[in-house]
Chain A
Amino acid sequence: MSVLDSRIPEGPLADKWTNHKNNIRLVNPANKRLIDVIVVGTGLAGGSASATLAELGYNVKAFCYQDSPRRAHSIAAQGGINAAKNYQGDGDSVYRLFYDTVKGGDYRSREANVYRLAEVSTNIIDQCVAQGVPFARDYGGLLDNRSFGGVQVSRTFYAKGQTGQQLLLGCYSAMSRQIGKGKIQMYNRHEFMDLVIVDGKARGIIARNLVTGEVERHSAHAVVIASGGYGNVFFLSTNAMGSNASAAWKVHKRGAFFANPCFTQIHPTCIPQHGDQQSKLTLMSESLRNDGRIWVPKKKEDAEAVRAGKLKPTNIKEEDRDYYLERRYPSFGNLVPRDVASRAAKERCDAGYGVGTNETGEAVFLDFASAIERYGREEANVRGIHNASDSEIKKLGEETVEKKYGNLFQMYELITGDNPYKTPMKIYPAVHYTMGGVWVDYNLMTTIPGCYAIGEANFSDHGANRLGASALMQGLADGYFVLPYTIGDYLADDIRTGAIPTDTPEFDEAEKAVKDRINTLINNKGSKSVDHFHKRLGKVMWNKVGMARNEQGLKEAIEEIRQIREEFWKEVNVPGSADELNQELEKALRVADFLELGELFARDALERNESCGGHFREEYQTEEGEAVRDDENYTFVSAWEYKGEPSEAVMRREALNYENIELKTRSYK
Chain B
Amino acid sequence: MSTAKGLDLTLKVWRQKNQNDKGRMETYQVSDISPDSSFLEMMDILNEQLIEEGKEPVAFDHDCREGICGSCSMFINGRAHGPGKRVTTCQLHMRQFEDGDTIHIEPWRATAFPVIKDLVVDRSSFDRVMAAGGFISVNTSGNTQDANAIPVEKEDADNSFAAATCIGCGACVASCKNASAMLFVSAKVSQFALLPQGQVEAQDRVLNMVHQMDLEGFGNCTNTGACEAECPKGISLENIARMNREYLSAGITSEK
Contact = CB atoms under 8 A, between A and B. Distances in A.
Contact of B127 (A177, A186, A410): A186
B113 to A, nearest CB: 11
B221 interface: no
Contacts of B167: 165
A177 B52 CA distance: 46
Interface in A402-424: 410-411, 414-418
A625 interface: no
B168 A68 contact: yes
Contact of A240 (B65, B138, B198): B65
A46 to B, nearest CB: 14
A76 interface: yes
A174 B140 contact: yes
Interface stretch (A443-451, A537-545, A575-583, A647-655): A575-583
A241 interface: yes
A169 B15 CA distance: 32
B154 A138 contact: yes
A581 B59 contact: yes
A126 B146 contact: yes
A120 B140 CA distance: 12
Size range of the interface on B? 35 or more
16 contacts: A71-B69, A85-B147, A130-B138, A132-B136, A138-B154, A139-B154, A143-B147, A176-B135, A180-B131, A275-B34, A357-B2, A414-B91, A415-B91, A484-B140, A580-B17, A584-B57
B86, B137, B144, most chain A CB atoms within 10 A: B144
A71 B70 contact: yes
Closest 10 CB pairs of A and B: A141-B151, A123-B142, A180-B131, A173-B135, A134-B161, A130-B144, A274-B36, A129-B147, A176-B130, A177-B135
Size range of the interface on A? 35 or more
A165 B165 contact: yes
Interface in B11-68: 17-18, 33-34, 36-38, 40-41, 44-45, 48, 51-52, 54-57, 59, 61-68
Interface string B124-168: 101100111111111111101111100111100110110011011
Interface string A265-303: 000000010110111101100000000000000000000
A288 to B, nearest CB: 15
Given A134-B160, A188-B127, 14 more contacts: A71-B70, A76-B66, A120-B142, A127-B138, A127-B141, A129-B197, A135-B157, A141-B151, A141-B153, A177-B131, A277-B33, A280-B65, A426-B1, A481-B140
Interface in A51-74: 51-52, 55, 66-73
B56 A576 contact: yes
A542 to B, nearest CB: 18
Interface string B190-221: 01100101100000000000000000000000
B120 A240 contact: no
B177 interface: no
A52 to B, nearest CB: 4
